[in-house]
Amino acid sequence: MTDRLDIALAQLNPTVGAIDANLAKAREARARAAEMGADLVLFTELFMTGYPPEDLVLKSAFQRSAREAVEALAADTADGGPGVIMGTPWVENGEVYNAIALLDGGRVETVRYKYDLPNYGVFDEKRVFAAGPAPGPVNFRGVRIGVPICEDVWTDEVCECLEETAAEFFLVPNGSPYEKDKTDVRLNLVVARVTETGLPMVYLNQVGGQDELVFDGSSFVLNADRSLALQMPAWEEQIVLTRWRRGEEGWLCEPGEKALIGNGMESVYRACVLGLRDYVNKNGFASVVLGLSGGIDSAICAALSVDALGADRVRCVMLPYKYTASSSLDDAEACAAALGVDYDVVPIAEAVEGFSAVMKSTFDDLPADITEENIQSRVRGTALMAISNKFGPMVVTTGNKSEVSVGYATLYGDMNGGFNPIKDLYKTQVYALARYRNQTRPSGCLGPEGRVIPENIITKAPSAELREDQTDQDSLPPYDILDDILECLVEHEMSVSDIVARGHDRDLVKKVERLLYIAEYKRRQAAPGVKITSRMFGRDRRYPITNHFRDRD
């Protein structure tokens, strides 16, 4: 039995389905850990397949590939180097489990299954995995290690059971998606588990974007006295060696680096950047294109795109029509120049008017209305998709959560596009993010320092510029009021009367409630985007499209 263990923690960015690449990444990490002198390397939840693999797990070919990769890595451990705790799906007796495999001495020593499968919010694990029995510790070179998997530490049961079966400390592999202000939630949970069991805990989380989810890393270690032994950075890959020593009081992790975890605007900004970067890169796009209107939404999306990919991978196009103010042209050009991106102006009058001419007899001289406004938006959407088809960039779409909530966006028009980095940010948060980015370029961002969004874009009244002198507030309440009502309805599921009790006008709340419900059909056709809040549209909030319910309060 040893009294010393050096454990490498691999906070890495796997890709869902890329089993060969994930295996290669694991081998590289193990080689690095061996150089550091590690006895054991810990990987994150389902690292071998990437997390969350969703229904891929149901395919027998996928299950087989994952197993072969785990067995290949197990064979590597015959070299006498570090053992490995690897997250992987595992099939036994016809059931598929969300598992960890302990690999050592050239073989799969043991496997343990996740007990508590999350099945709420964005998680659907009961759909694809069977729940395992309450796990006992694994025995690694004479040390009994508890390995609860992610959700297993969100309640006390599994850790208690592990402590009762003589676990000496916990190594917890996680696939815990980012949400604003979640860092404290995780820390409090780990404090609770450490307090209940008196055992130290390693909380290791993956990093990177996977469709709408983004994982922040932010892994850490708490000793049995609840002191923070180590804090890994957010948003970055890192392999770190932790040194464990057994004393009279049990195991202690020697204090190591404590990275500062930015919160508030910094974390929101970096989540949007990494979510967009990984979506674009992991789906094989060399570049992106977006319509730059001189408005705040497209300006922040341009800044996020440049910070994610670098200016040379971002193309911005101004698509003016007769309602585009000359100040919008100036603002768009100034924004593009500040960001250093390729910028074109493609006037759309001929296409808009050509389309109107084609429809003239069908429309039978009916007066112009929103139909003609939407044609402008759809011409812009078509132009951007044409650039995408011709040159290959993915279209970044720019609707914020306030617009997406109330359907203030045109289907097959400004809603066109592959990915939306601000989909889960209300308009008031978009303004705050723009101000933040003008003051601070967060670490890991590839754009220039300093002001990248001209002040006029932030201070002018927002407008879709689809008719003369239009502003958003012709159709919508002021955004601070709208956003508060929306947050009450969406994030907090509050009743109309409770929202009115906050000081809002009842008719307005009822109007917003109605707009929210009737726009569900648009959201179902919207591009994916980065989850930031506790209740993103989509998997986090599954409302019916056909829905006659209205709150009677």
Ligand X SMILES: NC(=O)CC[C@H](N)C(=O)O
Ligand Y SMILES: Nc1ncnc2c1ncn2[C@@H]1O[C@H](COP(=O)(O)OP(=O)(O)OP(=O)(O)O)[C@@H](O)[C@H]1O
The catalytic site residues sit at: 45, 114, 150
Could you tell which of ligand X, ligand Y, ligand DND, none binds residue 176, using a CB distance below 5 to 8 A set by kind?
Answer: ligand X
Give me the residues that bind ligand DND (CB under 6 A), please.
370, 373-374, 377, 407-411, 413-414, 464, 466, 475, 521, 545
Backbone φ and ψ of 521, nearest 5°: -60, -35
- In the complex, the smallest distance separating the C-beta of residue 264 from ligand X, rounded to whole angstroms, is 20
The residue assigned the tokens 């300093």 is 450
Q: What is the rounded CA–CA span in Å between residue 256 and residue 214? A: 26
Q: What is the rounded CA–CA span in Å between residue 379 and residue 156? A: 56
Among 77, 88, 176, 267, binds ligand X (CB under 6 A): 176
Q: Does 417 bind ligand X (CB under 6 A)?
A: no
Q: Does 532 bind ligand X (CB under 6 A)?
A: no
Among 104, 109, 151, 465, binds ligand X (CB under 6 A): 151
Q: What is the rounded CA–CA span in Å between residue 271 and residue 31? A: 30
For the CA atoms of the chain, what is the radius of gyration?
A: 26
Q: Does 319 bind ligand Y (CB under 6 A)?
A: yes
- In the complex, the smallest distance separating the C-beta of residue 118 from ligand X, rounded to whole angstroms, is 4
Could you tell which of ligand DND, ligand Y, ligand X, none binds residue 45, using a CB distance below 5 to 8 A set by kind?
Answer: ligand X
- In the complex, the smallest distance separating the C-beta of residue 528 from ligand DND, rounded to whole angstroms, is 19
Residues 376 and 321 sit within 8 Å (Cβ to Cβ): yes
Q: Which residues contact 88 (CB under 8 A, 6 or more apart)?
A: 46, 47, 48, 49, 66, 67, 69, 70, 99, 100, 101
The residue assigned the tokens 């754009």 is 447
Among 46, 161, 292, 306, binds ligand Y (CB under 6 A): 292
Bridge partners (DSSP) listed for residue 394: 288
Per-residue x/- track, 342-381, ligand Y (CB under 6 A): --------------------------------------x-
Could you tell which of ligand DND, ligand X, ligand Y, none binds residue 324, using a CB distance below 5 to 8 A set by kind?
Answer: ligand Y
Q: Which of 96, 85, 112 is nearest to 57 (CA)?
A: 96
- In the complex, the smallest distance separating the C-beta of residue 129 from ligand X, rounded to whole angstroms, is 10
User: Contact region for ligand X (CB under 6 A) — 174-182, 244-252, 322-330, 430-438?
Assistant: 174-182
**Which CB sits closer to ligand Y, 30 or 313?**
313
- In the complex, the smallest distance separating the C-beta of residue 201 from ligand Y, rounded to whole angstroms, is 45
Residues 115 and 157 sit within 8 Å (Cβ to Cβ): yes
Cβ neighbour number for residue 542 with a 10 Å cutoff? 8
Task: Report the helix count and the strand count for the chain, using DSSP H and E.
Answer: 17, 19
- In the complex, the smallest distance separating the C-beta of residue 458 from ligand DND, rounded to whole angstroms, is 18
Q: How many CA atoms lie within 13 A of 441 on its CB side?
A: 15
DSSP 22-53: HHHHHHHHHHHHHHHT-SEEE--TTTTT-S--
**Which CB sits closer to ligand DND, 5 or 387?**
387
Per-residue x/- track, 101-120, ligand X (CB under 6 A): -----------------x--
Q: Give, as ranges, the residues between 9 and 48 that touch ligand X (CB under 6 A).
A: 45
Site residues (vs ligand Y, CB under 6 A): 290-293, 295-298, 318-320, 324, 380, 398, 414, 462-465, 472
